[in-house]
Amino acid sequence: MRCAVARVAGASEVGSAVARRDEPGPFDPVLRHGRFSGYWWVVTGLATLAAGSALLQLESADIEALDIAFWVVLGFVILGEIRPVVASKELSPSGVNLATAFHFAVLITWGLPAALIGVLVGSAIGDLVRRKEWYRTLFNLSQYTLGYLSAWVVLAALGWSASPQTPATLQPRDLGLIVIAAVAYHLVNLGLVGTAVGLVSGQSLRQSVFGDFWWHTSTTLGVMALSPLVVVVIATSWGFLPLLLLPLALVWATAQLALDREHRGLRDELTSLANRASIADLVAQRSQQAEPPRAALCLLDLDRFKEVNDTLGHSTGDQLLQAVASRLRTACRDDDVVARLGGDEFALLLDIDEVWEAERIVGRITDAIRAPFEVGGILLEVEVSAGIALFPDHGQDLETLLRRADLAMYEAKGSGETLVSFDPELDQRTPGRLALLAELRQGLPRGELFLAYQPQVRASDGRLVGAEALLRWQHPTRGLLLPGAFLPQAEHTAVMREVTAYVLRAVIAHLGVWRDAGLGIPVSMNASLHDLADQRFADLVADSLAQAQVPPDRLCLEITEQALVSDPTRVLLTLERLHGMGVQLSLDDFGTGHASLTRLKQLPVDEVKIDRQFVIDLDAGDAADRAVVRAVIELAHACGLRTIAEGVETEAQRATLAGLGCDVIQGWLIAPALTAEEFASWLEGERTLGPPLPAVPGPTGE
């Protein structure tokens, strides 16, 4: 796992960026053909000429004149190089180099040749201790050399003179030219390093040179403000120099506190993974590059994690999240970013070239998550849903990528898949989907939703045996909407629970009215995967029936095969509870989904519904459909289940179904879906919407 890395005002970033690109050998980045290679040779070449010219001016007397004060300051240079002040990994991962203050003090006191000795000795030792590549060390020495050369040119032009044999002393009136020289050093240093970073990382030069300009300017000039104080101390007595260790120690301690605070701000407290702010920084850095490398943002959501908290407590839930985080770290590659966004939601930032690479990696990770977790002596199995969005294809900021990965993830939940990659078609549906969901939530309390009832009759003689409740929405601007226009969008949202509660209350209320009128027929209503996977749904049904004093066998819940495939264990638990309390269960659209024959035998259902797609061509004599329908009917009867065919529109279809032994039919041949008032009239015998049904003989063989 890696953390956010920002642009650095120091040569250390140059090597890091190159290393991340191709993992080169010690000198490969400057030996291969490329813009950075050419730039490196120009900078180091100029610095070598400048340093050589300056050092050749030194005489043996100059070396002998460098007293103990120089060597004490050189010790501070080495200390500053080895121990930079790192107060922010985000703004300056390599830290603020305190050695700059002492380098500049040497320049002011003993002149350019002495300062270059400090650069060559101090910076080289510092880079060796930190084990930097040689090409990075040479670039460091070069950019310092050219920076101090520019500062010395400014000082000399303004009349400043200093050498080992005639050290300079500083007066308050000299502070102006010291500031000008410091600014010259800073601008040259910033330009040299920023250009190198831009060439390596692909950022625009404007971004690489002037990104975080004021941060780097304030920190660099703030450090260099110590230089005049060091010069004054040197002029008084070198023996006072060690006292500088005390304020420097305080600076290091304060920086460490700030670094710890930033670290906590970029880390999830529970799991120690990166957090939302950290991964946002990484995405932002990528988007600033001229040619950003491709990546995949994967959103992972633990299914039904809330039930762990509700059942086993939040402490167990926290332990499970920590265990999941640990397994994610292990399953991911070293360069992959793992973050926890909050709750049971995790994110991965993966370096990839093609979407199939991300799908393969995430598939391996989700397989690892499925293995049981032992938490507090309990084995817990975790299911996960995942969505993938590509950077920069699907967005160049975290919010856009998260929104699109979230759409893909919920598409996975809805389709019963573990992983789905974002498709632009999903995004095209989003604005309308969100608006429709908001209108649905508002329409519930306004009474815009209502139920229509379609009669169900015996196929043999047309006797009424039940009805199916069908939801309708009288939208104020879109008109009458059928369930297919809005329920799929609501399926995996919180509003679905509200819709289910409304339908359940309305059906049970109508059952109570019809019971009081002496009509004891059952009414069917649809139950979604969202309902059946919620263990509280059975309690809601039981409480609603008890309050209305409606017998449980008057309610029939229709379930789909997809619900059984998506979450068979949890759905079966709910079905067994419902069946145990006497609620009727119907397997809807049988033959169009994924239910196996073994599962049909094991299901606690009372009836099987034959989908309309097998009914529609029965009157045309379609042999295949006829064979399928007969097989379903015989299978259901062998399992002790009744059968009901939907979508019956012609007398020929009804006669064929009755002849094959189908128990119950519904469709426009009998009646369309009727409002509660129309259904009440229909019940009283006003069957103006459909002709009386002739008797049909029992099943015949063929």
Sequence-separated (6 or more) residues with CB below 8 Å from residue 571: 529, 532, 533, 559, 563, 564
Per-residue pLDDT band for 431 (boundaries 50, 70, 90) equals low
Q: Which residue shows structure tokens 């880079």?
A: 127
Which of the residue ranges 71-75, 371-375, 596-600 would you say has the lowest mean pLDDT? 596-600
pLDDT at residue 557 tops 90: yes
Hey, which residues does 378 pair with through a beta bridge?
375
Can you state the angle between helices 213-224 and 175-201, rounded to 10 degrees? Answer: 140
* pTM for the whole structure: 0.47
- Please compute the mean of the pLDDT values over residues 454-478 and round it to a whole number: 92
For 583-621, the pLDDT digits (tens) are 999 988 665 544 445 566 667 899 999 888 888 878 777
Per-residue pLDDT band for 383 (boundaries 50, 70, 90) equals confident
Which of the residue ranges 28-37, 328-337, 567-576 would you say has the lowest mean pLDDT? 28-37
Rounded CA separation 352/23 (Å): 16
Per-residue pLDDT band for 139 (boundaries 50, 70, 90) equals confident
pLDDT at residue 56 tops 60: yes
pLDDT of residue 702: 34
pLDDT at residue 691 tops 50: no
pLDDT at residue 456 tops 60: yes
pLDDT at residue 696 tops 70: no
pLDDT of residue 554: 94
Structure tokens at 700: 């015949």
pLDDT at residue 351 tops 80: yes
pLDDT of residue 662: 94
pLDDT of residue 395: 87
pLDDT at residue 30 tops 60: yes
Angle subtended at Cα 276 by Cα 270 and Cα 280, rounded to the nearest 5 degrees: 150
Rounded CA separation 393/354 (Å): 11
Backbone dihedral region for residue 303 (phi beyond 0: left; psi -120 to 50: alpha; all else: beta): beta
pLDDT of residue 436: 80
Instruction: Answer yes or no: are the C-beta atoms of 139 and 196 closer than 8 Å.
Output: yes
| Number of other residues whose CB lies within 10 A of the CB of residue 622 | 14
- Please compute the mean of the pLDDT values over residues 564-585 and round it to a whole number: 82
Radius of gyration of the chain (CA): 38
- Please compute the mean of the pLDDT values over residues 24-32 and round it to a whole number: 60
pLDDT at residue 364 tops 50: yes
Reduced to 3 states, what is the DSSP secondary structure of residue 632?
helix
pLDDT at residue 100 tops 80: yes
Q: Which residue shows structure tokens 């793992």?
A: 338
Percent of the chain with pLDDT over 90: 22
| Number of other residues whose CB lies within 10 A of the CB of residue 38 | 12
For 162-195, the pLDDT digits (tens) are 988 889 888 889 899 999 999 999 899 888 888 8
Q: How far is CA 102 from CA 32, 79, 96, 126, 219, in A?
A: 36, 10, 13, 14, 15
Hey, which residues does 85 pair with through a beta bridge?
96
Tell me, what DSSP letter sits at residue 320?
Answer: H
pLDDT of residue 15: 44
Instruction: Answer yes or no: are the C-beta atoms of 301 and 405 closer than 8 Å.
Output: no
pLDDT of residue 599: 60
| Number of other residues whose CB lies within 10 A of the CB of residue 80 | 23
| Number of other residues whose CB lies within 10 A of the CB of residue 506 | 17
pLDDT at residue 245 tops 50: yes
In a 13 Å sphere around the CA of 303, the CA atoms on its Cβ side amount to 26
- Please compute the mean of the pLDDT values over residues 220-242 and round it to a whole number: 84
Cis peptide bond prior to 552, omega within 30° of 0 = no
Which of the residue ranges 20-29, 129-138, 183-192, 457-466 would you say has the lowest mean pLDDT? 20-29
- Please compute the mean of the pLDDT values over residues 323-348 and round it to a whole number: 89
Rounded CA separation 142/192 (Å): 10
Instruction: Answer yes or no: are the C-beta atoms of 40 and 139 closer than 8 Å.
Output: yes
Q: When comparing pLDDT for 97 and 224, which is higher?
A: 224
pLDDT of residue 94: 61
For 628-663, the pLDDT digits (tens) are 899 989 988 988 899 999 989 999 899 999 999 999
Rounded CA separation 539/543 (Å): 6
Per-residue b or e along 277-308, where b marks 16 or more CB atoms closer than 10 Å to that residue's CB:
ebbbbbbebbebbeebebbbbbbbbbbebeeb
Rounded CA separation 638/644 (Å): 15
pLDDT of residue 5: 28
Rounded CA separation 479/473 (Å): 8
pLDDT at residue 112 tops 50: yes
Average pLDDT, the chain: 81
First to last CA, the chain: 68
Q: Which residue shows structure tokens 């079966």?
A: 572
Q: When comparing pLDDT for 202 and 114, which is higher?
A: 114
Percent of the chain with pLDDT over 70: 83
List the beta strands (DSSP E) in 368-463: 373-375, 378-380, 384-391, 419-421, 449-458
Per-residue pLDDT band for 8 (boundaries 50, 70, 90) equals very low
Which of the residue ranges 125-134, 222-231, 332-341, 440-449 would you say has the lowest mean pLDDT? 125-134
| Number of other residues whose CB lies within 10 A of the CB of residue 698 | 8
Structure tokens at 288: 């600033």
Rounded CA separation 682/674 (Å): 9
As to burial, measured by CB atoms within 10 angstroms (0-12 exposed, 13-18 middle, 19+ buried), residue 260 is exposed
Of 108, 104, 99, nearest to 10 by C-alpha is 99
Q: When comparing pLDDT for 536 and 504, which is higher?
A: 504
Of 286, 261, 374, nearest to 337 by C-alpha is 286
Q: Highest mean pLDDT: which of 204-218, 506-520, 608-622, 653-667? A: 653-667
pLDDT of residue 598: 55
Per-residue pLDDT band for 120 (boundaries 50, 70, 90) equals confident
pLDDT of residue 31: 66
For 384-426, the pLDDT digits (tens) are 889 999 998 888 888 888 888 888 888 787 666 788 888 877 6
For 477-497, the pLDDT digits (tens) are 989 988 888 887 777 666 788
